[in-house]
Amino acid sequence: MIRFDHVTKRFPDGTVAVDDLSLEAASGKITVLVGPSGCGKTTSLRMINRMIEPSAGTIWLDDRDTAGFSASDLRRGMGYVIQHAGLFPHRTIVDNVATVPLLLGTSKAQARSRAMELLERVGLDASVAKRYPAQLSGGQQQRVGVARALAADPPVMLMDEPFSAVDPVVRAQLQDEFLRLQHDLGKTIVLVTHDIDEAVKLGDRIAVLRTGGHLAQFAAPTELLTRPADDFVAGFVGRDRGYRALGFEAAGDLDPQREPTVVVGSDRAAAASVALDSWVLVVTEHDEPMGWLAIVPGATGQVEPTLLNRGGTRVSVSGSFRDALDAALSSPSGRGVVIDEDSRLVGTVTAGEVVRRIEAQLGDRRATAQIAAVG
Amino acid sequence: MSTAGSPLLAGLEQRAQLAAPPGLGRQVLSAPLAGLEQRAQLAAPPGQWDFVGYFRSHTSDVMSLLGQHVWLAVIPVVLGLIIALPVGYVARRFSWTYPPLVSIAGLLYTIPSIALFVLAPGILGTQILDPVNVLFPLTIYTVALLVRVVADGLASVPTDVLQSATAMGYGSFARLIRVELPIAVPVISTGLRVAAVSNVGLVTVATAIGTAQLGQLFSTGLQMSSFRSYYAPIVLGIVLCLLLALVLDGAIVVGTRLLTPWRRVVRPS
């Protein structure tokens, strides 16, 4: 647990970067600090490992005042990942990762074998170990940065825009892997980003900071999207927040309807005969949905994969309302494809049905909230 | 070492006089106009450029001068680097000190070397022929060249590398030694190459104060060429200075490559 207790940072030129910040980053959770530039998010992060000293207030690490540690000891107990990874260009990848264990006095052999494990853990091939950072792509370097931060198995990880410097595809991939890693490791993580979508995706709790270092709201992602504390937060969280909030609502039992299908390679005339309307769902022989076939009267020949419209997204039975609605809206037939954990077809669901269920679920919650408010 | 200069110098002078044909010298001195004509006729006696022959006949003396030259050129580079490292670090670490330190260093370099060679005994209280009188000015020039180079080399370390080093728990001294200096090596080595090569040339100026080094071949050559057109010692001095500069430069390049294997790697396409 990391607790900011009325922390203020005033720089020598008089700028107040962080103003009376109090918040608690829970153990084993990801706490995200998000806000526009100049909101003091990076300053706040750096005060945790005392790369910047607070002007007033206390930062607690569990029940110890961080000011009571030697700065080096404090830092060696906290992993740190930054935007461009900040790898040491003059050391090989394995030696970069082994840095903190070596600083802590671990033997070279042990530190290296630990480093090799971590490289594997972050999805890097052992062959990169002997290379230098300049030989790696941005995404690979960022993985090394994460491995290096984890090397001494610190309970705390501080991450400053860790995924901002890579392209969107790699970013999404790194984010997903990061969440998987965190699921296994359960570190106490404080992550800084300017990207609200990243905050919503990664954060267990999100602190929205406004310019001048004020805490505007500290809440779970859903709450931030559904009940922004003020206009600033509402504006920062952005458009589509009603729709985006659905991403955090498990759709539960969507009660998918049975959908007639044809197996790829069947006769087109046969496909036309089973179709409910002008579209029929084509599946593989293992009942995995492939795409929609438009029924053309009198068409002959086989159902070739090239004939299929693959526009529709799919929703897993464990998916969110957002996924379900998107599947229905993106489907050419208007029927969203629901699949099970093994990618097999369960059935289809229409946008109307999804919305009806959203209404029902949110309606219940509104009623509860009203009772709470009145009570 | 301090007395090595004078006897050798004296020996060379003597030899130069002995080597000149006695008649020619007198003729030129007594009848300048006729001498000019005669000189034109005698303009290319065999061997006037024959520095290899000169080297063969004076090998041990020349090698001794070369050995002296090497030390006089190399020691100031080493001392200068040792002094420039902390000064350059200060210039980098406390940014307000950068402009004055770099300006002062630049000014030092403009002091004429011959003036410093002559003044050195007065400043340091050394003997006239003490090689320290040469080492001291050349060390100053090396420092003058390297202060800026060290400061800029340290500044070439990317900010995110510095930050991550600090965040991983390096103290500021350990960070300097283990992270900043190794990364600054390529920039610092560029400055070292300039300092080493320019020192090889500057050492020859110390001939004026009688210190033994390759520059003595020039004064010997000057004396010999006033008797007749004989330039072999001068050419030999130039050739050896060039070779020495190339060797020192090459040694620094090789050393730098050994220290920076990470700079030779192939970047991803």
Interface of B with A (CB under 8 A): 158, 160-161, 163-171, 179, 182-183, 260-262, 265-268
Average pLDDT of chain A is 91
Whether the pLDDT of residue B7 is over 70: the answer is: no
Q: Tell me if residue A40 falls in helix, strand or coil.
A: coil
CA angle (B37 as vertex; B36, B42 as ends), nearest 5: 95
pLDDT at residue B179 tops 80: yes
**Contact (CB<8Å) B164/A87:** yes
Contact list in A for residue B257 (CB cut-off 8 A) is none
Contact across the interface for B161 and A86, Cβ inside 8 Å: yes
Q: Determine the residue of chain B that is closest to A88 in CA distance.
A: B161
Supply B66's token pair. Answer: 């070369």
Residues ≥6 apart with Cβ < 8 Å to B51: B232, B233, B235, B236, B239
pLDDT in tens, A12-67: 999 999 999 999 999 999 999 999 988 999 999 999 999 999 999 999 999 999 99
Classify A58 as helix, strand or coil: strand
CA distance A323 to A316: 8
Contact A87 B262 (CB under 8 A): no
- Residues A86, B265: C-beta atoms closer than 8 Å: no
- Strands (E) located in chain A: 2-10, 16-25, 30-34, 56-61, 64-65, 78-82, 156-160, 188-193, 205-210, 214-219, 261-263, 279-283, 289-294, 314-316, 335-339, 345-350
Helix (H), strand (E) at residue B148: helix B132-155
Measure the CA–CA gap between A215 and A57, rounded to whole angstroms: 15
For residue B20, which of B266, B255, B232, B245 has the smallest C-alpha distance?
B232
Task: Report CB contact under 8 Å: B164, A85.
Answer: yes
Pairing of strands A261-263, A314-316: unpaired
Summarised one tens digit per residue, pLDDT across range A214-271 is: 999 999 998 988 889 999 999 888 877 788 888 888 888 788 999 999 999 999 888 8
Query: What is the pLDDT, as a whole number, of residue A319?
Result: 87
Residue with tokens 């959770």: A29
pTM of the model: 0.76
Burial B17-30 (b: 16+ CB within 10 A, else e): eebbeeebeeebee
Closest Cα in chain B, distance from residue A110 (Å)? 18
Cα separation of A190 and A32, whole Å? 6
CA distance B139 to B77: 7
Q: For residue A173, with 0-12 CB atoms within 10 Å meaning exposed, 13-18 middle and 19 or more buried, which class applies?
A: middle
The alpha carbon of B167 is separated from its chain's Cα centroid by a whole number of angstroms, namely 43
The answer to whether B207 and B114 have CB atoms below 8 angstroms apart is: no
What local confidence, expressed as pLDDT, does residue A300 receive?
86
